[in-house]
Amino acid sequence: MSNSPLTVSELFYSIQGESTRAGLPCAFVRLSGCNLRCRYCDSHYTWEEPGRETTLTEILGWVEKYPEVPVELTGGEPLLQDGIYPLMRELAARGRTVLLETNGSLSIGRVPEAVTVILDLKCPDSGMENMIDWTNIGRLAQRRKNGCRDEIKFVLSSERDYAWAREVIAGYGLADLAALLLSPADKLMAPSRLAELMLADRSPARLQLQLHRIIWPARERGV
């Protein structure tokens, strides 16, 4: 097992807020660095601060303190660091449920099938739509055929974003590939308006609120 260090922003134990597993306790490994600059980013510190070099052994040792819960690998953008691959493999080999949250700009081709991918598709009002790696849709389709249960998330800043997400979902047949999550960006789109739109459209997606922000509205880190 390679023990080359990863640059970690924070390790924390909290409530899973942003996937189909929302509400479950979860061990989070948040890596530093991001190649995007979304307008609504609520974790600037992951790319503004240098982070701490942490060996695989240290990370695994910390995760072992919470043996019964899923492990979420997030960022920043976790796929920017090559050390994420031995970490994913090792966690999976230990029988852990592993979730990888990725911003959708990088290939998921090397992500083990034992790991659940939560892939963000960046909507136009994020300012990052042109960074999407659309070839990942084919990879999700192949993973689905192989039995993976991945998730696709859209963070919506506006009704324009909602309309875009609806077109993308229909155009690529995403409902057959992954669980779909529509999440209103904090203070930019009212959850009630998103609910109305989804109900009117008979959307195949799930409305997702950032549960950790509701529980701890004043906490910026460790949630």
- Site size with ligand SF4, rule: CB under 6 A: 11
Q: At its nearest, how many Å lie between ligand SF4 and the CB of residue 190?
A: 20
**φ, ψ at 187 (rounded to 5°):** 70, 0
Tell whether residue 7 is a contact of ligand SF4 (CB under 6 A): no
Identify which of residues 29 and 36 has a Cβ nearer to ligand SF4 in the complex. 36
Tell whether residue 219 is a contact of ligand SF4 (CB under 6 A): no
Tell whether residue 43 is a contact of ligand SF4 (CB under 6 A): yes
Can you spell out the DSSP letters for 118-170?
A: EEE---GGGT-GGG--TTHHHHHHHHHHTT---EEEEEESSHHHHHHHHHHHH
Q: At its nearest, how many Å lie between ligand SF4 and the CB of residue 122?
A: 7
- Name the one residue in this structure whose structure tokens are 């192989």: 146
Q: At its nearest, how many Å lie between ligand SF4 and the CB of residue 48?
A: 10
Alpha carbons 31 and 51: distance in angstroms, whole number:
8
| Candidate list 17, 70, 76, 78; residue touching ligand SF4; CB under 6 A | 76
Tell whether residue 17 is a contact of ligand SF4 (CB under 6 A): no
Q: Among candidates 191, 196, 132, 109, which has minimal Cα distance to 156? A: 191
- Name the one residue in this structure whose structure tokens are 């997400």: 165
Q: Among candidates 38, 195, 58, which has minimal Cα distance to 126? A: 38
Tell whether residue 97 is a contact of ligand SF4 (CB under 6 A): no
Q: Which of the stretches 1-9, 38-46, 59-67, 190-198 binds ligand SF4 when contact is defined by CB under 6 A?
A: 38-46
DSSP 6: E
Identify which of residues 37 and 160 has a Cβ nearer to ligand SF4 in the complex. 37
Q: What residues make contact with ligand SF4 under the rule CB under 6 A?
A: 34, 36-38, 41, 43, 46, 75-77, 103
